[in-house]
A and B are shown apart, each in its own frame.
Chain A
């Protein structure tokens, strides 16, 4: 199914998305990856506020390349999400719901997604130049010292994504491959 959706990703909206859906996403997303997640989870552990309001937020796992003069952002494709597995349940418990990345997730992340109605979107890994075209605004909001790993607020328009894991725990990495093999082998 093809969907054009606008953020924030409320619980109600999240529940309408299913693994395998093609999604064109519009709205504000926050960028963070390894070092940023570590800091955010330390902040939460101390009982302090995150640099952005996490409720219904979507986090894009990306460390963009620097913008050339006149550009909003450099190349900006997804990084491997599995490295954020240690932090993702904590982020969801704090209210964040959407994750954009690529690659497999651990069962405990999927369990947290089922609990909090999380959605894991896939962007095409290695398509950083293409994805940069959907990013219309980029603002640095925290952790500037982390360089590419700093926390940024992006405004994206019609960002092409696919739902990999939905809020019921259906996983395109399993179903897509199984379906392909079943059709190919005619069983």
Chain B
């Protein structure tokens, strides 16, 4: 049994909240530069130039890339040999969010109750996912998620007879419907299979995978490429003003599902798709 202090979890979450909001991941920056190089529509080039300039300014001046510094999605993979000492794990994570959003001058965007809507004032609670895995390490991923794009996400419980075509149609329909609202160029996370809830979680996890990676199974890797190409044929373009660059990437995650079902979730994200992982 390896002991990890709750304080170490707090410190890591706090630091990752700040770092993810100030520095875009290399794969996202690379995708933006590649798309700028391929873009041939003047207004779209201009928008991409400003988006690139924006992340450079944020990096230099240690400012949030986007003022919507998100709701803090925190994924913990807890080794089964790990014992968390010195406090509750849930509290340790929330304290990390509280500190990170306070010390990092990040926006507090969480309301306590979805209908009565009073701000919690410290961006807690985190949207926390824990998974028990083999080993004696704790893997911490922080992914602040903005809601301009989150609001354009969708899930559909397709019939198995809808098949591959049904999945493709639903994904493209969701992107088309999102249009200019999620600050394109978007990043699209797709979850296929599982149950209603698992499909949504898979879609969120798909957003954590680097944009320059592909699904290990060639069937889905081809589907990722095909869908990205189709999305970039829609013509929505950066910010919706027209152009080639509608999405920077599309990742799919899948899992087994029921004989009667074909759940498909599409988690829409933006060009400020932030995440970082550290192992304690």
Interface residues of A (CB under 8 A from B): 20, 35, 62-68, 74-77, 79-80, 82, 102-104, 122, 124-130, 132-133, 146-148, 160, 162, 172-173, 176-181, 183-184
Question: Would you call A65 and B67 a contact (CB within 8 A)?
Answer: yes
With an 8 A cutoff between CB atoms, is B33 at the interface? no
Q: Could you say which residues of chain A place their CB within 8 Å of the CB of B181? A: 80, 82, 102-104
Contact of B151 among A80, A124, A126, A162 (CB under 8 A): A80
Stretch at the interface among B87-95, B204-212, B222-230, B234-242: B234-242
With an 8 A cutoff between CB atoms, is B51 at the interface? yes
Once the chains are docked, how many angstroms separate the CA of A128 from the CA of B61? 12
Question: Would you call B235 and A177 a contact (CB within 8 A)?
Answer: yes
Question: Would you call A127 and B241 a contact (CB within 8 A)?
Answer: no
A129 to nearest B CB, angstroms?
4
Question: Would you call A75 and B63 a contact (CB within 8 A)?
Answer: yes
Query: What is the total number of residues of chain B having a CB less than 8 Å from a CB of chain A?
Result: 45
Question: Would you call B57 and A129 a contact (CB within 8 A)?
Answer: yes
Stretch at the interface among B77-85, B101-109, B251-259: B101-109
Interface residues of B (CB under 8 A from A): 41, 43-44, 47, 50-51, 53-55, 57-58, 61, 63-69, 105-109, 117, 119, 121, 146, 148, 151, 179-181, 183, 235-237, 239-243, 270-272
Question: Would you call A104 and B179 a contact (CB within 8 A)?
Answer: yes
Question: Would you call A162 and B241 a contact (CB within 8 A)?
Answer: yes
Contact of A102 among B63, B235, B239, B271 (CB under 8 A): B239
Contact of A172 among B67, B235, B241 (CB under 8 A): B241
Question: Would you call B54 and A126 a contact (CB within 8 A)?
Answer: yes
Beta-carbon nearest neighbor of A103 in chain B: B181
Q: How many A-B residue pairs have CB under 8 A?
A: 145
Once the chains are docked, how many angstroms separate the CA of A102 from the CA of B67? 14
Q: Could you say which residues of chain A place their CB within 8 Å of the CB of B44? A: 180
Interface of A is mostly: mixed
A118 to nearest B CB, angstroms?
18
Q: Could you say which residues of chain A place their CB within 8 Å of the CB of B67? A: 62-65, 74-77, 128, 148
Question: Would you call A65 and B105 a contact (CB within 8 A)?
Answer: yes
A65, A74, A122, A173 pick with most chain B CB within 10 angstroms:
A65
| Given the contacts A65-B67, A173-B180, A79 and B241 also touching, CB distance less than 8 Å | no
Question: Would you call B236 and A177 a contact (CB within 8 A)?
Answer: yes
Beta-carbon nearest neighbor of B44 in chain A: A180
Contact of A125 among B61, B117, B148 (CB under 8 A): B148
A100 to nearest B CB, angstroms?
13
Question: Would you call A66 and B47 a contact (CB within 8 A)?
Answer: no
| Given the contacts A64-B107, A103-B180, A125-B239, A77 and B66 also touching, CB distance less than 8 Å | yes
Contacts A/B (CB < 8 Å), 17 sampled: A64-B107, A65-B63, A65-B69, A66-B106, A102-B180, A102-B183, A103-B148, A126-B146, A127-B54, A127-B66, A129-B64, A130-B57, A147-B119, A148-B108, A148-B109, A172-B241, A177-B240
A146 to nearest B CB, angstroms?
8
A179 to nearest B CB, angstroms?
6
A67, A77, A147 pick with most chain B CB within 10 angstroms:
A77
| Given the contacts A65-B105, A179-B242, A181-B242, A75 and B58 also touching, CB distance less than 8 Å | yes
| Given the contacts A65-B105, A130-B57, A160 and B242 also touching, CB distance less than 8 Å | no
